[in-house]
Structure 1
Amino acid sequence: MQVKKIFAGMLVVGGAVASIAPAHADQLADIKGRGELSCGVYSNVEPFSYPNAQTRQLEGMDVDLCNAVAKQLGVKAKLEPLAVEARIPQLKLGRVDIVVANLAYTKTRATQIAFSDSYYSTKEVLVVKKADASKKLTDFAGQKISAADGSTSAQSIPISIKDGQAVTFHDTSSAFLALEQNKVKGFVTNQMTATKIAKQVDGTDGAVAIASEPMLIEPIAVGLRQNEPAMLSAVNKALASMEQSGEMSGIFNKWLGPKTPYGLTRTDKVTPIDQLKFTPVS
């Protein structure tokens, strides 16, 4: 009988202790508590995040975005350089708080992580010979189109060109060479790479043009851990504030805008991904 009373007392005390134990703080509270936002960025991909040749400190569009988001949250940014393939795993493992590394939305990624609102959209585009500059995507039905193996560019070919025959190569340079050698009728790559290539060969016999219709539109957003609603809301609020103040456009123009080698014009605003019209890839 005495043993039962003691055991019952232990249950009561244990219950009391359990009831007063602090609940695990959410991610946003953890970040604010330590005063630091761990931000996963590319280790060396221009113009997003790469070491400055003189200082060896990371700089780039994504570095500026990380610092700006951290400032909006009232903390300091801690940059964590990541390999391209490590972006999602490191985020899922909790080794970084967020990923800002030109991260495109895909169906597969959306099952693994959460995405913020999109802050700009990149495009996969079709590069063609100058003579084909006025043609539409439908005009390339059934044609051979090159792209880098395993890329979103390659995935876009059967999506955007009816019966398009994807011819893939180990790298972008080889895929472009196939167009130059007339082995394919077009070459698919991202808009920034296409713009640089077009400028490099302009005025030569191998001059190319970018088709007016994009092959694919890819929303770029901040990657976050799943099931952290307060953190997701805070990041979206930060992005909206940066949009409203003009800071977002300033960062974009500094690294990708008309006065840069990429020559892009930002037409997108910070927008929830589910409000965008695009065909997501797997």
Structure 2
Amino acid sequence: MSSRRTMLRCLLACTAALAITAGSARAQTPSVLQQIISRGTLRIAVLPSLPPYSKVTPSGDPEGYDIDIAKRLADALKVKPEFVVTDIPGRVTSLQTHKVDVTIADFTRNVERSMTIAFTDPYLVTTMRMLVLDGNKARAITDMGTGEGIKIAISRGGTAERAVPAALPKATITRFNTQADEMSALLSGQVDGMAEDDFYNTQAIKDRPGKLRQLDGSLARAEIAIGMPAGDADLHRVLNLFVEQFNASGDNATMFKKWFGFDQPAITAHF
């Protein structure tokens, strides 16, 4: 009996020691926010070909609405922005692997993504819609029926992965890593349509007069937010406050109009 008690005491002591060691290790690991401040730079994942949200200029510098937001955030944190160009799937994985500190890239928050990363409140709300060539006979998404015999381009890992099959269950889905590749496929006739957000589509139509048209109807509602690694309460708190003040001050509305050319729609949801 005494040997069992001794073994039990040893087991409890070892468990306590492990708990203390683990707690000490966690305490010694600086938070993502602490790392940003200590490093003096904010590493931001951005997309290379999604104007007017973002694009890389011939000189190699990123520019656009999301880029200006990223610069404003870095300024608020009193650090320098460091841009890391990624593709659509990389918006999540670069946060999971801590390659970047935040993602600002027309990034829709949803429950599935929130299982592995975190999001701020939205700084923009839009809808996913269908972009087609101007000669397409369809006037609305519903004119495509179930999508049988139709090819649709979508972003790999994007919101359209679920939205398009839900609306057009028999459509052939062609996945691309960038919107530029989607657009090339649409313009060359490889696909019949591409599913992207309303604001991107509006700019694409403006940039290619007489070539493109957007169908009536929405595929999904999209709350655009800043993505960050999960589990850092301080970073989440600070970034959420930044977004709240950015929206409330009117600075967001001003920046949006600068890049999109029209007034920003309401961000608050009406259910």
Q: Same fold (TM over 0.5)?
A: yes
The residue identity in structure 2 corresponding to 1:268 is A
Is 1:77 aligned to 2:77, yes or no?
no
Is 1:115 aligned to 2:122, yes or no?
no
Is 1:29 aligned to 2:27, yes or no?
no
1:97-112 pair list within 5 angstroms: 97-112=101-116
Q: Secondary structure at the match of 1:39?
A: strand
2:55 to 33, 50, 59: 50
Q: Secondary structure at the match of 2:152?
A: strand
The 1:22/1:64 distance shift into structure 2, 3 A limit, reads same
- Identify unmatched segments of 5+ residues in structure 1: 1-13, 259-264, 278-282
1:96-245 pair list within 5 angstroms: 96-127=100-131, 132-133=138-139, 137-138=141-142, 140-144=144-148, 145-148=150-153, 151=156, 152-153=159-160, 155-160=162-167, 164-169=169-174, 171-175=182-186, 187-190=193-196, 191-196=198-203, 198-199=205-206, 200=208, 202=210, 209-245=213-249
- Deviation digits for residues 255-282 of structure 1 (CA, Å, limit 9, x no counterpart): 2233xxxxxx42132x5xxx676xxxxx
Q: Secondary structure at the match of 2:105?
A: strand
CA distance, structure 2, for counterparts of residue 22 and residue 108 of structure 1: 27
- Deviation digits for residues 54-106 of structure 1 (CA, Å, limit 9, x no counterpart): 5x333222221111112222333232333443332221122221111222224
Specify the alignment match of 2:264 in structure 1: 266
The 1:127/1:30 distance shift into structure 2, 3 A limit, reads closer
Contact between 1:154 and 1:166, CA under 8 Å: does it hold in 2?
no
Once the two structures are TM-superposed, the CA of residue 169 in structure 1 deviates from its matched residue by 4.0
Contact between 1:43 and 1:50, CA under 8 Å: does it hold in 2?
yes
Once the two structures are TM-superposed, the CA of residue 147 in structure 1 deviates from its matched residue by 1.2
The 1:193/1:232 distance shift into structure 2, 3 A limit, reads closer
Q: Secondary structure at the match of 1:117?
A: coil
CA distance, structure 1, for counterparts of residue 33 and residue 161 of structure 2: 38
Aligned length: 238
The residue identity in structure 1 corresponding to 2:90 is A
Q: Secondary structure at the match of 1:165?
A: coil
The 1:148/1:27 distance shift into structure 2, 3 A limit, reads same
The 1:150/1:247 distance shift into structure 2, 3 A limit, reads closer
1:92 to 96, 100, 103: 96
CA distance, structure 1, for counterparts of residue 142 and residue 66 of structure 2: 36
The residue identity in structure 2 corresponding to 1:160 is A
CA distance, structure 2, for counterparts of residue 21 and residue 125 of structure 1: 48
Alignment RMSD (CA, Å) = 3.6
The 1:149/1:194 distance shift into structure 2, 3 A limit, reads closer
Q: Secondary structure at the match of 2:92?
A: helix
The 1:127/1:67 distance shift into structure 2, 3 A limit, reads closer
CA distance, structure 1, for counterparts of residue 201 and residue 50 of structure 2: 16
TM-score normalised by the chain length of structure 1: 0.68
The 1:189/1:32 distance shift into structure 2, 3 A limit, reads same
Once the two structures are TM-superposed, the CA of residue 143 in structure 1 deviates from its matched residue by 4.4
CA distance, structure 2, for counterparts of residue 165 and residue 239 of structure 1: 39
The structure with the largest alpha-carbon Rg is: 1
Specify the alignment match of 1:8 in structure 2: none
Specify the alignment match of 1:6 in structure 2: none
Shifted more, 232-241 versus 23-32: the winner is 23-32
The 1:88/1:20 distance shift into structure 2, 3 A limit, reads closer
CA distance, structure 2, for counterparts of residue 23 and residue 114 of structure 1: 21
CA distance, structure 2, for counterparts of residue 214 and residue 21 of structure 1: 48
